[in-house]
Amino acid sequence: MAVITYRDALNQALREEMRRDPDIFLMGEEVGAYQGAYKVSRGLLEEFGEWRVRDMPIAELGFTGLGVGAAMVGLRPIVEYMTWSFALLAIDGIVNSAAKMRYMSGSQFKMPITFRGPSGAANQLAATHSQALDSWYAHVPGLKVVAPATARDAKGLLKSAIRDDDPVVFLEGELLYGSKDDVPEDEDFTLPLGVSEIKRPGRDVTVVVHSRPLHSALAAADTLEREDGISVEVIDPRTLRPMDIDTVLDSVRKTNRCVIVEEGWPVCGIGAQIVDDIQREAFDYLDAPIARVTGADAPHPYAANLEQLHFPQADLIVKAIRQVCYRD
């Protein structure tokens, strides 16, 4: 184990996988000579050369399709977007081509491709550069969607995403790149897609949260333990599609209360689907309506104070948990 950053954990995952399998190549804007807009691909061009670490023109639709074509003939491309907000220009390639190729061809062609890059807000990048569009991709059959919140999860899940034979949308937290935790150095370390993790065990209420807000939820759990004596169980699904909902259901059957937190907008969000799964399979176990804490239902503002108000902050999560525990 070593304490490293989320950024370096991703770099390790890329390097280890590219060493293991010569069919894997990385492409995107600034991934090579510039060493990555967020330095995730640092040193890879020097090790693997330009055919395997390819700087692309600013043409998201074009290089996304390039990845799809290469995957159809058996390569395993990794497509990096400078931010997922730019991938809106490539949504035809992701949603129409990658997600449906297996189905439309009757399984004649598989689609082993990973689309990755930073998602969600950073610091005052305003409306076009801050979006968490997790639910857009999770909506689409044929895609898998992964959103790690820690360096360990980032490494283990990216390696599994690259090895997967289906297209994976891999959403990195733009504000998580500098965060650190213990990461296994073992090259065989992977984490399976579609498995939730209990990040903090508890008895009284279940919080389901992914990506950066996990850290806000853990802070909120500390506060509630200390100030209210409420024991909060925090679950990170990590994979949003297909989601391991059983871990969530088991927890809700135990705690009988649930709060769902996400950075994205509320309407048709990831939490909306989780609410449906819970009410359908664990309705009788609920002692209170499920609460959701989301990004504000507004575009991301530039002003620093307004932007902070947009986020699902720990104080909002505390309020929501108190409400479902009838402590407010």
Segment lying near other proteins (by CB under 8 A), choices 5-13, 37-45, 90-98, 184-192: 90-98
- Residue of 60, 80, 263, 307 marked active site: 60
**What residues have CB less than 8 Å from 297, skipping those under 6 apart?**
265, 266, 267
Evaluate the CA torsion angle 123, 311, 178, 176 in order and state its sign.
Answer: negative
Active site residue 215: no
* 277-283: long-range pairs with CB below 8 Å, 24+: 277/243, 277/245, 277/248, 277/249, 278/248, 278/249, 278/252, 281/245, 281/249, 282/249, 282/252, 282/253
- 14 or 320: whose CB is closer to other proteins? 14
Query: How near is the Cβ of 138 to other proteins at its closest, in Å?
Result: 11
Of 28, 32, 36, 67, which one interacts with other proteins (CB under 8 A)?
Answer: 67
User: Interface mask (CB under 8 A) for other proteins, residues 95-134, using x and -?
Assistant: -xx----xxxxxxxxx------------------------
178, burial (CB in 10 Å: exposed 0-12, middle 13-18, buried 19+): exposed
Active site residue 46: no
- 14 or 220: whose CB is closer to other proteins? 14
Told to check if 163 binds other proteins by CB under 8 A, we report no
On whether the CB atoms of residues 196 and 236 are closer than 8 A, the answer is yes
Position 289, amino acid: P
The Cβ-side half-sphere exposure at 183, using a 13 Å CA radius, reads 27
Query: How near is the Cβ of 73 to other proteins at its closest, in Å?
Result: 5
Per DSSP, 86 falls in state G
Binding to other proteins (CB under 8 A) within 191-230 occurs at: none
- C-alpha distances out from residue 235 to 82, 259, 288, Å: 29, 10, 19
Told to check if 187 binds other proteins by CB under 8 A, we report no
Told to check if 25 binds other proteins by CB under 8 A, we report yes
Told to check if 62 binds other proteins by CB under 8 A, we report yes
Q: Residue count at the site for other proteins (CB under 8 A)?
A: 46
Segment lying near other proteins (by CB under 8 A), choices 58-66, 184-192, 202-210, 286-294: 58-66
- 105 or 308: whose CB is closer to other proteins? 105
Query: How near is the Cβ of 158 to other proteins at its closest, in Å?
Result: 18
Length of the chain: 328
Dist CA 71 CA 74 (whole Å)? 5
Distance between the two ends of the chain, CA-based, in angstroms? 42
List contacts with other proteins (CB under 8 A).
25, 51, 54, 56-57, 59, 61-75, 77, 92-93, 96-97, 102-110, 141-142, 144, 164-166, 242-243, 245, 277, 280
State the catalytic residues. Answer: 60, 129
